[in-house]
Amino acid sequence: MRYGEAEIANFDPERDLEVWPNNHDKRYKITITLPEFSCLCPRSGYPDYATFTLEYIPDRYVVELKALKLYINSFRNRYISHEDSVNEVFDTLYAKLQPRWMRLVADFNPRGNVHTTIEIDSATMEKESP
């Protein structure tokens, strides 16, 4: 196994998804495009590909980009649905970053004549009742 494959195979978001202090008090938006997301369909095993666009207004933290790349690449050999993968990425990043606002858009490439786009926006999420 090459060093990159080992980093991806052993990536643990709790341990390895590094965040850095945000050194700025002003409100500003960060946009990150991840055009090579891939995972495997849990039913067929066929590969699914997507472009993820992450936008957020940081509060105390910003995400370290290499760690984000490794996290996204860790889905490559996982059997996971579109919905589950997007929700997992959003929830993990939202918990780690605790941003003022965050949106994640996943635009999956068409497969079998079906095109899927999933968007999660922290401003429109319903709060769970206690």
Find the catalytic residue in 12, 25, 39, 41: 41
Find the catalytic residue in 16, 39, 48, 84: 48
Cα–Cα distances (Å) from 93 to 18, 72, 104, in that order, read 10, 11, 10
Whether 59 is catalytic is: no
Whether 41 is catalytic is: yes
Torsion of CA 122, 63, 86, 128, to 10 degrees: -30
Q: Give me the DSSP letters along 67-79.
A: HHHHHHHTTTT-B
| Residues designated as active site | 41, 48
